[in-house]
Amino acid sequence: MHILISVFYCLIIIQPSEDKIRSFEFNNSKVRTTYGVEDRFYGKYRGAKNGFLSLKEDGTGQYLYDVFGFAPDHCKKDTIDFEWGFIIDENDQLVNFEREYGLSYPIIYRSTGNTSWQGCTKKIFLDYLLVYKTGEITVSSSDDWIHL
């Protein structure tokens, strides 16, 4: 009986709550995501320069390029506000890929403002959070952003 209760309790913790699941349209496909994840993923990721990624528990966030690059005049070189979610499978489990260093988790950002990715031409951006065996978490799209 105790084992059954323990297994049930673990399933409740691991399964994202239904109200934190949402779909994004990516490459002409509907992709299910969740922002109901472990606390270790929330917060700010930053490197040596001024850029950063911020993931909030409410499924929103901000992204500021280290170097914004070329953009048309209508694209303000500013912080990108977005909604986000880790990709989940048909069983509502986080998708991840085993790598030599640890695990790679695909995450989708959808811009909610006027400033977006690739010179304001892309409203959706696929990125990866990399979780190393040491426990350190970094952002794939920036070479030195680590979780603070």
Q: Say if CB 1 and CB 8 are below 8 A apart.
A: no
| Residues 47, 109: Cα–Cα separation, whole Å | 19
Q: What residues form DSSP beta bridges with 130?
A: 104, 138
The tens digit of pLDDT for each residue in 92-105 reads 999 999 999 999 99
Amino acid at 33: T
- Locus of tokens 């409740």: 12
Report whether pLDDT(16) > 90.
no
pTM for this predicted structure: 0.85
Q: What is the pLDDT of residues 30-89, one digit of tens each?
A: 999 999 999 999 999 999 999 999 999 999 999 999 888 888 988 999 999 999 999 999
DSSP letter at 70?
Answer: -
Could you give the CA distance from residue 87 to residue 9 in angstroms, rounded to a whole number? 23
Instruction: Check whether 9 has a pLDDT greater than 50.
Output: no
